[in-house]
Chains A and B, each alone.
Chain A
Amino acid sequence: MERPAWAPQGIDLTVPSVSRMYDYYLGGSHNFEVDRETARQAIKAWPGLPKIMQANRAFMRRAIRFAVQEGITQFLDIGSGIPTFGNVHEVAHALDRGARTVYVDNDPVAVAHSRAVLGDDRRAGVVSADFRSPQDIVESPEVEELLELDKPVVVMLVALLHFVEDRDEPRKCVAELARRLAPGSLLVISHGSCEGGPVRDGGAALREVYSTASAPLVTRSKDEIAQFFEEFELVEPGLVALPHWRPDSPLELEDPVVLGGLAGVGRKVGLAE
């Protein structure tokens, strides 16, 4: 018999969690030994991996700033995880006190932690949902309460899509989300890729490490990543390596490993209704 949809998911703390591994890369201690052990193996398979995560956070910060400059102050951060610092609502509030943020994650521990951190901040909320069920996200009470979907929203899929396999139809999920968004909304994506950075073994060893984690790693080509923006118009400079997306200052010598991640921001086309 299939388990009914309303029966709860169990928690297995012995499975390495990709969100806690991410926290470890960023120097946090919101992780268990099993997470750290797997993260150490990942770093061994792909030296410099933490630098990519760092570049991701930096890109996210710049993307938020771009959005606020464009006058958009509603954020839907899907796959928010357990990051230690520099979170969307913090960055956004520093720019606009009225900014609203909804975090979404499918990891119950990440969701519980986020709840604790947000406390009674009325401008931010957490949804326990999965990117692969866009309807659950868009129709959640938090989204209905905090975000006005008839106005532009920033949907952030930062370092998320490379954890979604093709059989789960991520393009369809993005399209379903996009369908619910007002024209002018922004789609922020960063994605692991074997194009651009050092080739090494094409990421095979890293994928092997992640195969034991809570989500497998799926690297995609630039063309494949660009397809996620089907209903969007990429803003300048398009889909580029993480540090090359609207850098704050002239580019300095970076560890070339960070060129292995691609980032882009798209604007939903169509006339405002």
Chain B
Amino acid sequence: MTSQDGPEKHQGRTRPAAGPAEDGTGPGGEDGLRRFARIWSRTVYPATQTSLTRAELEDFLHPLAVRMGEALHAYPFSPAPGREVGEVLVNQAHCTSPDALPHVLGVIESYLVLYAGTPRGLGVDEARSRCARLQHALAAGFTLAVRERTLAEQEALSRAALAAQTAVEEALHASETRFRAVFKDATLGIGIADMNGRLRDANGALARMFGHSEEEMRRRNINDWVHPDDAPDVWRLHRELAAGRRDHFRVEKPYQRPDGTVLWTNLTVSLLRDADGEPRYQLALMEDITERRLLHLRLRYEATHDELTGLPNRTLFAERLDRILAPGNGVARFGLCYLDIDGFKTVNDSLGHAVGDQLLVAVGERLQSCTTAPAHLVARIGGDEFAVLMSDPQGAEEITGMARALLAALATPVSLDGRELSVRASIGIVEGAAGQLEPAEVLRSADITMYRAKDAGGSRYELADPDSEARAIDRHSLTNRLPAALERDEFFLEYQPLIRMSDGRVDGAEALVRWKHPVHGRLGPDRFIPLAEHTGLIVPLGRWVLEQAVAQSCAWAGGQPLRVNVNLSPRQLHHPDLVPDTVAVLESAGVAPSSLCLEVTESALISADEDELKPLWQLAELGVDIALDDFGTGYSNLANLRRLPATTLKLDRSFTQGLQRHPADPVDLTFVEGIVSLAHALGLAVTVEGVETESQADQLRDLGCDTAQGWYYARPSSPGEFAKDWVPAG
């Protein structure tokens, strides 16, 4: 960018009219010089760097042509205007190329006299001479201007370069000062070593960390700083860096201080290369993490050990188990003894938590005393659960040996507060190859097996066994699913007719509950009723069955509701709402109590006292029939039958199986005959279950049984099918 005024700013250019006639003789004047300017422009244009168009250049040259014409004619003659025109061409038309000069001069030589005209009173020779002198002057002016301009621009450029360089140096200096300040005042230790490892520069923070002066630090070689606790790959990483194969690495590294203490650092080493990419220096940044590390170790210990017993806790146990089970970790097999103290809750409840805690501490010590091998981990998992985890045991023998040792260690009573406490425990053992089971699977297996040991009486160990686990898991998952199943209407009822033996007509229907499990499909009551009984879900489930069955009985009713039999479990029997619930169901359905028969198992009633029988008596008094189910399996005192509110005995199918054969088993015949006569003597009706053949049915009828039920008559079926087969239309 220059401050020179140039024709680039020309505006409002007006194009002149066409040039004059080229007579070639007369004085040129305006028109002639315009034509001269045009020729001049065309000739010079290719040799200039101007950004003017040709027409603009022509406009610019026209006044110069006029001046040259005037100079040619001037009296007295002076070549000075030629010099000025030469300067203007350089400075304003940017004809700086030496190539432009011959073009400029050539045009003047050939056309100036022609278009400006021969000056009056001068001969052609004189005119030519003036023209030549004007050209000489122009050449001198041009050359001078080019030189001046070149020098000026070179100087301007040099100044600019210098200014730029000064600016860069100042910025570098400022940057250097900042870096120095960062280096000197940083709390991070910073050291710069050459490629031989010699420390060239160390800041105050680094010197303080090492307990040296900065001066002493500079005499050190970082290659000497080997420490026994160095991570295995530190020096490999460092060798790679020193060889230029790695640009940086970061490790935790310990150093020996002169006072014998250890400095732990977070160390980052970076390779500094020169402009050619060759390694020049290694830069080490160190953060003193000694305190943090100690704190971390303490926190880590606290986080992984049980406060009470000091044993490794569940967290550490889980980490170790994860590590051992992970494939490719060098461990081939594992063994786990999962131990739970039998009856610990009783100790806690009766002797208090303080004693319980002391007992746990004593147990922890005894268990710990069973092993010193580092490959064995004794941990307290929580509560009264402990575990011994063994990596690469010498066969299953070593594990069962360990379990026996653990039980033996607990065999001697524990002396607490002058009291002798016997400790018994159950152990579940899992053993196997590493890399096959997930930690969660191992733990679940251990837990199930430990409970198996407990169920078997405790104070023993059991080995994990896939079959019993599968059953336990099955029970477990079904139990978990039960509440949702009730909510989602996964249960349904089927009905099996009760046939009156005297005329073969239907006398009632037993409602049987089934579960349409989304995964396992249709499940019979034997699969889930015990679970529901165990969890208490039997109460809402039983009520649901009752409601459904009573409503169904009404739905079938062709004037007279069909009697339905509904099973009542022991837990339902003892539920305080049994009577009001049953009454409410009957009332809301508008069904007479006599249309309902509740079946109760003999075993549920066998030990019941008067109070427990009260609800049943109440129901019986309301008119609800009570049937004694599975009769004959409970070793009941027959005399007891008198105090029960039953109206019917349901004879267990085991008694009727012998009657399927022909001829029938005489012992069974005698037995059934006896029961029937006994029942009738007490005013009870007899129902037989499991009737499968015609001869069986005939026998039982002959023996005086009142009603029968079984595949011979019908299998349990849906309400719709039942109605089709058994309910009189209309």
Contacts and interface: CB of A to CB of B under 8 A. Distances in A.
A176 interface: no
Interface in B64-97: 94-97
B163 A115 contact: yes
A248 B37 CA distance: 19
Interface in A6-52: 6-11, 13, 20, 25-32, 50
A26 to B, nearest CB: 5
B173 to A, nearest CB: 9
B163 A28 contact: no
Nearest to B3: A117
B153 interface: yes
Interface string B26-60: 00000000000000000000101111111110000
A116 B160 contact: yes
Contacts of B270: 1
Contacts of A86: 6, 8, 51
B168 interface: yes
Interface string A101-120: 00000001111111111110
B160 A113 contact: yes
Interface string B149-185: 1100110110111011101100110010000000000
A142 B159 CA distance: 23
A85 interface: yes
B250 to A, nearest CB: 13
A89 B55 CA distance: 24
Interface stretch (A53-61, A147-155, A184-192, A197-205): A53-61
A94 interface: yes
Interface in B245-275: 270, 272
Contacts of A109: 157, 160-161, 164
A90 interface: yes
B283 interface: yes
A94 B9 contact: yes
A116 B163 contact: yes
Contact of B156 (A6, A10, A50, A113): A113
B329 interface: no
A112 B165 CA distance: 9
Contact of B153 (A28, A50, A89, A95): A28
B168 A108 contact: yes
B26 to A, nearest CB: 30
Contacts of A28: 96, 153
A111 B164 CA distance: 8
Contacts of B372: none
Contacts of A54: 49-51
A30 B159 CA distance: 11
A86 B171 CA distance: 32
A191 B153 CA distance: 27
Interface in B620-664: none
A113 to B, nearest CB: 4
A84 B268 CA distance: 52
A11 B160 CA distance: 12
A82 interface: yes
Contacts of A119: 3
A13 B161 contact: yes
A53 B50 CA distance: 10
Residue among A26, A28, A110 with the highest chain B CB neighbour number at 10 A: A28
Contacts of B96: 27-29
A114 B157 CA distance: 10
A86 B51 CA distance: 8
Residue from the set B46, B52, B161 with the largest chain A CB neighbour count within 10 Å: B161
B422 interface: no
A107 B171 CA distance: 15
A214 interface: no
A29 B94 contact: no
A112 B11 contact: no
A241 to B, nearest CB: 15
B521 to A, nearest CB: 62
A160 B36 CA distance: 39
A177 B724 CA distance: 85
A29 B149 contact: yes
Given A27-B94, A29-B153, A112 B161 contact: yes
Contact of A29 (B154, B163, B283): B154
B160 A112 contact: yes
B42 to A, nearest CB: 9
A67 to B, nearest CB: 15
Nearest to A124: B1
A184 to B, nearest CB: 25
Contacts of A134: none
A164 interface: no
B172 A117 contact: no
B4 interface: yes
Nearest to A255: B46
A32 B155 CA distance: 11
B53 A249 contact: yes
Interface in A163-201: none
Nearest to B171: A8
A117 B153 CA distance: 11
Given A6-B175, A30-B153, A58 B53 contact: yes
A90 B420 CA distance: 109
A32 B161 CA distance: 11
A266 interface: no
Contact of A61 (B51, B160, B163): B51
Given A29-B157, A94-B9, A112-B164, A50 B51 contact: no
Given A8-B175, A248-B55, A26 B49 contact: yes
A139 interface: no
Interface string B474-496: 00000000000000000000000
B588 interface: no
A145 interface: no
Which of B1, B52, B157, B172 has the most chain A CB within a 10 Å cutoff? B1
Q: Which among B4, B56, B157, B159 has the highest number of chain A CB atoms within 10 Å? A: B157
A118 to B, nearest CB: 7
Interface string A255-266: 100000000000
B1 A83 contact: yes
B276 to A, nearest CB: 15
Given A30-B157, A117-B1, A108 B53 contact: no
Contacts of B149: 29
A91 B52 CA distance: 12
B153 to A, nearest CB: 4
Interface string A208-235: 0000000000000000000000000000
A9 B3 CA distance: 29
Given A27-B94, A58-B51, A94-B9, A87 B1 contact: yes
Contacts of A110: 160
Contacts of B163: 112, 115-116
A31 B168 contact: no
Nearest to A118: B1
Interface in A234-273: 247-249, 252, 255
A94 B157 contact: no
Interface in B93-139: 94-97
18 contacts: A11-B168, A27-B49, A27-B95, A29-B157, A30-B156, A31-B157, A61-B51, A82-B160, A84-B1, A84-B94, A90-B9, A94-B9, A109-B164, A113-B160, A116-B159, A116-B163, A117-B2, A117-B3
Interface of B: 1-4, 6, 8-9, 11, 46, 48-56, 94-97, 149-150, 153-154, 156-157, 159-161, 163-165, 167-168, 171-172, 175, 270, 272, 283
Given A50-B49, A85-B94, A115-B163, 19 more contacts: A4-B175, A8-B167, A8-B168, A11-B161, A11-B164, A27-B48, A27-B95, A27-B96, A30-B156, A30-B157, A30-B160, A53-B49, A58-B53, A61-B51, A83-B1, A85-B51, A109-B157, A116-B156, A248-B56
The 10 closest A-B pairs by CB, nearest first: A8-B171, A113-B160, A57-B51, A108-B164, A29-B153, A27-B49, A117-B1, A112-B163, A27-B96, A86-B8
